[in-house]
Structures are given as C-alpha cells and as structure tokens.
Chain A
Amino acid sequence: MKFRVELVWQGDAADGEGAVPSIYLTPDGRVILQGRAVTAAERAALALPREAEMISVDRALIRAIKDML
C-alpha cells in the first residue's frame, strides 16, 4: 500500500448539508471522485458528448473540492 490521502468533508449542519463522498488523492497525482455514470438516455437528453466517459457528481462534492483542494 502506497501513500494515498482521502479527504472527507463534514459540512455545516446549519447549511443542511448531508454526507459528501470522499475525495482521493493518489501518489501519481490523480484526484479520484465518487460519482454515477451518465446513462445513454441522459447523454441524449442533454446532448452530451457521445465518446467521452462522463460521471454525474453531487453538487456538494464540488463545494467540498472548492473548499479543500
């Protein structure tokens, strides 16, 4: 097991924030996030690029990224 860092954001309860998925920093410089694969139906409805792998993430996770990275 090499060195890796997991960031956990415990938001302010007053803001009504719930649990936010962790953010992982890898030794080779990547940032790994938890999300959900975008479905084919969503791609079509939102006119998203056909070829790229895409994920949907919680907006609270974006806030956590802004605050922590």
Chain B
Amino acid sequence: MFLRNYWYVAASASEVGRKPLARMILGEPIVFFRTEDGTPVAFEDRCAHRHLPLSMGKLIGDRLQCHYHGLQFDRAGQCVRIPGQEQIPPNAKVKTFPVAERHGWVWIWMGEAALADPAEITDFHWLDDPNWGAKASYLHVKANWQLVVDNLLDLTHLAFVHETTIGNAALAEHATVKVTRAPNNVVVTRWIIDQPAPPTFVKVGGFTGNVDRWQIIDFVPPAFLRLDVGATPTGTGAPQGKRIGGITMRNLNAITPETEKTSHYFWGQAHDFDVNNAALTEKIFEQIQTAFYEDVAVFSAQQRNLDINPNPPQIDINADTGVIQARRILDRLHGEEQAALHASAAV
C-alpha cells in the first residue's frame, strides 16, 4: 500500500548532483540530477526508446543523454536530440516528477502533478536551523515502511531493543501515555517521572540523579515522525512546561517506501544545547545511530517472518494505541485516494 499524493524525501541534497542518481520510490525507478544552475530534476529512470535506465547515462549541459543510443532529454523530460535523425517522435518523452529542496533534503511528489504544492512539505526545520545543532543520515531498511512507522509510535521498545543507549526499564513500566488522535494526525505524549536517565542521556546530559523524561511523538501522514525528546532533573517542573537544567532534542524521521518490502529511512537528530559544539552533535548522532541499527535488525527480522506468512494473526497491547490510530488514518487515506482515482478513471 502506497499513498501517492504526498511529498516524500527522495535523497539528501548532497546526493543529487551532476552524476545521475538512481533510486526506486514507491515501486517506480527514478533518476535524479541537477541542471547547471543547481535545480534538482527527477525523471522516470527509463529511456523512451529501448528502456535502458537513464541513470546509466550522462549529462550534456542540462540534457540527460541515454547511454545506449544517445537520445537526449531536457529537464521537462522531452527528447530533444536523436543522433542521426532530425525528426523526433512526438511521444518521445519520459515522465517527470515535481521536486523541491527543503532542510537539506530533496523531496519528490509521486502523485498527480497538478496537486503538488511545496508549501505542503512537512516541516523539518530543526535540521538546518542555526538555533539547533543537527546531523542527518540515511538507512536502507529491508522492511515495509509501516513497520518503521509502527516502531517510532511505540517507544516502549526502547527498554528492550536499546538498553545500552536510549532505553531503560522505566519506559515500559513507569510511563503515562497520552494518545491524541485528530482526523489526520496522531500525537503520542509519554512522561516518565522521577526515574533513572538512560545511558545516552547520562553521557550527553551529565545527569547524576533521577530525571523527568518526555517523549512527544508527532505523526503526520504518510510517514513523518518528529519526536520532541529530553529530560530534566526530577522535580524541576518539566511536566508543567519548565525545561530547566536538562537536555532537549529532536529526533526527526522521514520514511519513504522503496518497494512493498523495502524502505528509505531518512533521519536526523538535533539538539538545542551547546549547538555549535560539533563534537557533541557527533556524539549524540552516534548514540542514536547505534540505536537505529538495532531497529533495522528488528524490522528486517519482522519482514522475514511476514514474507513467510503475510497475514498472521496478531494481538494488540495497550502500548499499541498510537500505532493503531496511525494505521487507521493511513488505511482511510489510502481508501480515499483509491476511490478518487477510480472515480476519475471512470469519467
């Protein structure tokens, strides 16, 4: 299941340049490149002539030249040169996709082009805001994208999967969890009061005693999860809005389906303390990266089981509440999108 009429992160800005980049997104092979003035462009990665991936070609000015017979396509996807002939067939063109750049990422619109509005791109400003220290990265995940969304909406797993970094038993046993469900949004707010800090927080925050810890997970369809996380020494008023003497971070996640069984996982970690300390940014990043590698192992193992038995029975527990709400939103949005598609096809 894919939702198409949305902006997705396709690549980091630094990945897209004058050498064509091939990437599969929502089951479609896409080629990315930049024109000479730096504008990102995205095409269907298939020559209109004999189907070779255009990503195997090269750029001649702002034209992408196919490696096989030298057909050249301009930034609108129109073939503008066929070696050895002047006449260019009118349907010698490839599909193009709206793209935009925001927050150090190149975004692509995979649905009906007329609906693409860059103003709708999800806000990830912490990644390039001078008031935050931040570092972004990428993981390739051998699992369906919804397994990654599920993982980020239920953070009780930190106590078991990430016990050497961001997890401890308090997360699973001593949390109050509030799930706020709006028609197209889920916010999961977790507080763990007067409990030990996890190892990562001790390393980067220097906590020596118990803390009040928060995790506020904001889910926006189709697959964006922005986490406000942190802790303060216990009893200093964090639940009442006073974040004094502690640490505040943002864990930022943008999952883009590659296929039904694989995903592109773009993520970043930002901190609002000692923001110009590059060594601290790197230290925090490495802690979270260690945790995320552990998650990738979990997703892959889940997917292997689901490949063997695609629709097994499953039970739900209280901690799944946010996950269940998000899946219901996604199922509804997908149904609406499919209905609109069929309605327009019937006309």
Contacts and interface: CB of A to CB of B under 8 A. Distances in A.
Contacts of B193: 1
A2 B167 CA distance: 17
A23 B193 CA distance: 21
Contacts of A67: 181, 328
A9 B181 contact: yes
A8 B178 contact: yes
A14 to B, nearest CB: 9
Interface stretch (B22-30, B53-61, B273-281, B318-326): B318-326
Given A3-B172, A3-B319, A25-B318, A10 B180 contact: yes
B328 A5 contact: no
A27 B156 CA distance: 14
A58 interface: no
Given A1-B193, A3-B319, A68-B325, A8 B175 contact: no
B181 A8 contact: yes
Interface in A30-69: 67-68
A6 B179 contact: yes
Given A25-B318, A25-B321, A68-B325, A4 B176 contact: yes
A12 B332 CA distance: 14
A3 B318 contact: yes
B19 to A, nearest CB: 47
A4 B177 contact: yes
Interface string B147-185: 000000000100000000000000011111111111100
Residues of B contacting A: mostly: mixed
Q: Classify chain A: how many residues form its interface, as a range.
A: 10 to 19
Contact of A6 (B173, B174, B176, B328): B176
A68 B181 contact: yes
Contact of B321 (A1, A2, A5): A5
B144 to A, nearest CB: 24
B181 A10 contact: yes
Contacts of A8: 178-181
B181 A2 contact: no
Contacts of B156: 3
B151 to A, nearest CB: 18
Contacts of B172: 3
A10 B174 CA distance: 26
Given A12-B183, A67-B328, A68-B325, A6 B318 contact: no
A60 to B, nearest CB: 13
Interface in B288-327: 318-319, 321, 324-325
15 contacts: A2-B174, A3-B173, A3-B175, A3-B177, A3-B318, A4-B176, A4-B177, A4-B318, A5-B321, A6-B179, A8-B179, A9-B181, A10-B182, A22-B178, A68-B325
